[in-house]
Each structure stands twice: as C-alpha cells, then as structure tokens.
Amino acid sequence: MTSATHARGGTRALTLVFLAAIIEGFDLQAAGVAAPKLVPAFGLVPDQMGLFFSAATFGLVFGALGGGVIADRWGRRTGLALSLAVFGLFSIGTAFAGTFEHLVLMRFLTGVGLGGALPNLIAIAAESVSPERRGRAVAFMYAGVPLGGALASLVAMVGLHDDWRSIFVVGGILPLLLIVPLLAWMAPFRVTRTAKGSARRRDVLLGSGALAQTLLLWTAFFFGLVVVYLLLNWLPQILVSLGFTRGTASLVQIVFNIGGSLGAILGGRFLDSRRPALSAALCFGGLMLAIALLAMVPAGNVAAALVTGAFVGATLIGVQALLYGIAPQCYPLEVRGVGVGLAVSVGRFGSIAGPLFAGWLLASGMGPQQLLYALLPIAALCGATTVALIISRDKVPSAIRA
C-alpha cells in the first residue's frame, strides 16, 4: 500500500468516526431533550426521571468494557458497526416504549451500544494516522460529540420535534444509516493475537511496569468526568439560580457545546506539541479560571454568560479530548481496545458521581457559586494526574506505543 493510499484511507476513517461521534453526542443528550414531554406522557416523578437518566450511564459502563474486548478480538470496524447497530435499534425501541420499565430497559441497552462505540472510535482515530499526530486525530473525532450535543440542544430549543418519540427515532435511524458506508469505505483494522493473549493483556494493563500508568489514567478519567458530567447536567440549573432565564440557559448550553468542539481540537494539538505536559498544565489552569469566571458572571448579563459558557466548554471538553487522546498511546496495539475500554468504564463511574455530588452539595444548602468553587480542587487533581500521566507516557519507548 502506498503512502498516498494509506493517507486516503486514514482520512476516510477519520471522517467516518467524526460522523459517528456526532451521532453519539446527539444520542447521549436525546434523553434530556425528550424529558419535558416525556414526563407528562408517562406521569413520571423526579425519582423515576433520575432512574431513566442513569440507565444509559450504567449501560455505558458495561458497553465500554464489551466494546474494548470486541475491538481487540474482531477488529475496530466490526466493533464500531455492532455498537452503532445496538444503540440505533434500541434508541428506536425507546420511542415505542409503552411502560416506564420498558423505557428504562431500552435506555440502558442504548447506553450499552453508546459505551461500546467509544473505545472503537478512539482506537480507529488513533490508528488512522502516524503516532506523532494521534493526539489531534483523536481530538478531531471527539470534537464531534459536543457538536452532536449542540444539535440536540438546538432541537430542544426550537422545538423541531412534535413529541418525545421522534427524537429517539431520529437518534436511532442515523447510526443505522452510517453502518453501510462504514463497512464499505473503512478498511478493517486488524489486530494480531498471540496464544498468550490473556496473560499479555494482564501484564500490559496491570503488570508491575504498567500498573502505575494504568492507575494514573483511571484516576484522571474518573475525576475528569466528575467535572464534565456535573457541569453538563447542572449548568442550566446553575445559570437559572444565578438569575438567568431558561431560554438564556439553553443558549449558553449550545455555545458551551460549540466551544467544546473547538477546544477538543486545540486539546489534541497541545498533546502533540513539543511540551505536552506543560501544555496540559496550562489547559487545566484555563479550565479552573473558566469555572471561577462562571461563578462570578453578573446576573442578567447575557453576553458575559455566553462568552463564559463558551470558554468553559472549550477548556472542559479540551482537557477531556486531551485525556482521550493520551489513552490509546498508553497501550500497544493488541490490547489497546481493552485498555481504553477499561479507562472509559472507570470514567463513567465519575459521570455518575459528579451529578450526585452536585445534588448533595446543593441539598446541604450550598449555593451555585460555592458549588462551582468546590469543583476547582477536583479539576486541579485531575490536572496533576494528567500531567503525571503524560510524563509517564513519554518515558515509554515509542515502539511499544506504535
């Protein structure tokens, strides 16, 4: 295969996983978009809505583990196509749910498919380019997720759907439509397996030489997603508590996601820079500044809220993209899917803990500004762990990370 042919194949692969990431971001926020009309349709109380929202998150934990295993055993393309089929079909199934129990089950299974897609998306993006460009390739792919979220928020804001069912139908049809182009245009990413695959996987992930790096990666993912999902779930309520209207909060959510897409691309470029550890430290410093500025936005100042929301989105999703970019570089090819899948699964526990942590603090009497300030040490801990991880990664021979 010539270098030009390889480059074209890599471009096609990146384009396809970018589109898949947009669809993933759309489906991840579909439940929030549907909620205002879903509640009266089923007569749901807050506890039931909480269970409905968390069902997909729990599905993501199991899906990420399964998706990583499939990626390493049967190839990235197969794993991604299967994941698209799963969350597409069960998203459509959600639209036809007739009972609350059916609704929760469909959303859980949709989450399994969504979780299975992410390790494959990360692995394909990383392996479609040369090693020195992997950070920006993964970040480019991940930029599609907040774009999909912005699209879902736009649907919610302008009311393009007539009822709660249509958003899940659209979210189910889109991934199914992508499967044929994926299988037709993306070259298979084959993984060479050895007879001692299980032992090899254990040694590379949790052996004495790799345990510290794996634990650093898991810690960074966990605390990173605590911050990400706390803000994703509570940002509108925080803004309303600060004195803004719900319409303004929805608009801030959109610019938050658009800023996140731009920040994701910048995060990948920082990871591929000559001094990635310093760049990562600056990124996390920017995130902490953005969170502090959000806490100080004057009530009623819409322009300041929009600018700050975009800044928060850019820095928050930027550091998350940086983490997703470094994850596949921590492991060799034959265990990369499982390694990334485990990190994503551990991170999902952070996505569960973040919103619960915010709810507990607010219920205890803490105001929205104090809640935002409480995020600063968590962001600092995630930043310190990420910098240590990058330094640890740079000590690994490049041949192992190929």
Q: Which CATH number fits domain 7-189: 1.20.1250.20, 1.10.357.10, 2.60.120.260, 1.10.10.60?
A: 1.20.1250.20
Q: Residue 258 pLDDT > 80, yes or no?
A: yes
Q: Comparing 177 with 236, which gets the higher pLDDT?
A: 177
For the chain, the structural domain boundaries read 7-189, 200-402
Protein fold of 200-402:
Growth Hormone; Chain: A; (1.20.1250)
* Position 299 pLDDT exceeds 90: no
What is the overall mean pLDDT for the chain? 85
Three-state secondary structure along 256-324? HHHHHHHHHHHHHHHHCCCCHHHHHHHHHHHHHHHHHHHHCCCCCCHHHHHHHHHHHHHHHHHHHHHHH
* Among the listed residues 328, 310, 308, 333, the one whose alpha carbon sits nearest the alpha carbon of residue 389: 328
Q: Is the pLDDT of residue 7 over 80?
A: no
Residue 60, H or E segment: helix 46-74
| Rounded percentage of the chain residues whose pLDDT exceeds 90 | 43
Q: Which SS3 state, helix, strand or coil, does residue 36 take?
A: helix
Same fold, 7-189 and 200-402: yes
User: Burial letters for 126-152: b for 16+ Cβ neighbours within 10 Å, e otherwise?
Assistant: bbbbeeebbbbbbbbbbbbbbbbbbbb
pLDDT for the residue numbered 231: 86
pLDDT tens readout for residues 214-243: 899 999 999 999 998 888 777 877 888 888
Q: pLDDT band for position 128 (50/70/90)?
A: confident
Place of tokens 């399964």: 66
What is the end-to-end Cα distance of the chain in Å, rounded? 18
pLDDT surpassing 50 at residue 289: yes
Choose among 73, 326, 59, 341: nearest CA to 205: 341
Nearest to 385 by CA among 331, 343, 335: 343
Q: Please count the other Cβ atoms lying within 10 Å of the Cβ belonging to residue 302.
A: 14
- Predicted TM-score (pTM) of the model is 0.83
Residue in this structure with the two tokens 């801990």, named with its chain if needed: 381
User: For 61-100, what is the HEC assignment?
Assistant: HHHHHHHHHHHHHHCHHHHHHHHHHHHHHHHHHHHCCCCH
pLDDT score of 216 = 93
Least confident of 111-120, 162-171, 212-221, 269-278: 162-171
